[in-house]
């Protein structure tokens, strides 16, 4: 069964749990659950006293399945709560698609923080591009602060790449460092794009927004179906 936990994630989680119980009730001998976007994974530790570790709770609910497959989980820490889960890494797929479809000129793939550097490296190497990263500090759910950094971007196409784009705040901050770039693209695996995220990124100078179909929207241009199928 396939169910992405995209917004409204609580409703989609309930639907998935109902479906899992139905399959067991109907006599399914083996149950494989594909969760393309694994919501709650960013709460992979207790950041403040009294907070729930939500991904730990989700792992306990989903592990009634015999096998779980997800796409680009937020962190190894999030995956550590599961006993049997397979992660499909799709960032190389993004790099290949961008290289083939977007006619990039002297591209620079940019990670919004050092924690995203590994996935950006995977995408950049697939595209035959250079890559770099920024340093950021998250101030709140919507606000981040990016440290100034000298980047050689004049006349180049810059791809800001992350696993999740939610409010767009990280992308907006990154755009402040990209004066002189020929064009700026924002690319991610999971495009939540909540609230006015698209408008904020457009105003900051983003020309194209490209996401996969783990979360469906008009920006879901890259299918992960083939990559997922290879793990089943």
Task: Give the catalytic positions in this structure.
Answer: 136
Distance CA 129, CA 123 (A): 8
Query: 3-class SS at 117?
Result: helix
Q: Which two tokens stand for residue 188?
A: 């991610």
Looking from the CA of 164 toward its CB, the CA atoms found within 13 Å total: 18
Q: Which two tokens stand for residue 174?
A: 């990154």
Distance CA 164, CA 138 (A): 15
Do the beta carbons of residue 174 and residue 144 sit within 8 Å?
no
> Which residues, other chains included, contact 29 with Cβ-Cβ below 8 Å and sequence gap of 6+?
none
Q: Which long-range contacts (CB under 8 A, 24 or more apart) does 204-207 make?
A: 204/171, 204/172, 204/175, 204/176, 205/175, 205/178, 206/160, 206/171, 206/175, 207/183
Q: Which residues pair with 227 in a beta bridge?
A: none
Tokens 């990209």 — which residue? 178
């Amino acid at each position: 069964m396939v169910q992405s936990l995209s917004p409204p994630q609580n409703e989609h989680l309930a639907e998935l749990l109902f479906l899992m119980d139905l399959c067991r009730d109907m006599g399914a001998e083996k149950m494989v659950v594909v969760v393309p976007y694994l919501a709650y994974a960013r709460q992979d530790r207790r950041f403040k006293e009294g907070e729930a570790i939500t991904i730990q709770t989700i792992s306990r609910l989903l592990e009634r399945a015999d096998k779980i497959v997800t796409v680009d989980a937020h962190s190894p820490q999030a995956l550590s709560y599961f006993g049997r889960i397979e992660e499909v890494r799709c960032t190389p797929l993004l790099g290949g698609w961008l290289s083939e479809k977007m006619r990039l000129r002297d591209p620079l793939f940019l990670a919004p923080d050092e924690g995203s550097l590994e996935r950006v490296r995977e995408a950049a190497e697939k595209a035959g591009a250079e890559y770099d990263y920024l340093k950021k500090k998250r101030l709140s759910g919507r606000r981040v602060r990016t440290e100034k950094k000298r980047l050689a971007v004049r006349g180049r196409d810059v791809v800001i790449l992350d696993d999740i784009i939610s409010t767009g705040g990280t992308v907006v901050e990154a755009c402040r460092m990209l004066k002189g770039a020929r064009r700026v693209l924002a690319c991610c695996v999971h495009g939540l794009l909540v609230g006015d995220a698209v408008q904020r990124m457009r105003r900051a100078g983003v020309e194209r927004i490209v996401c996969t179909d783990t979360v469906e929207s008009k920006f879901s241009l890259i299918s992960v179906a083939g990559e997922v199928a290879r793990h089943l």
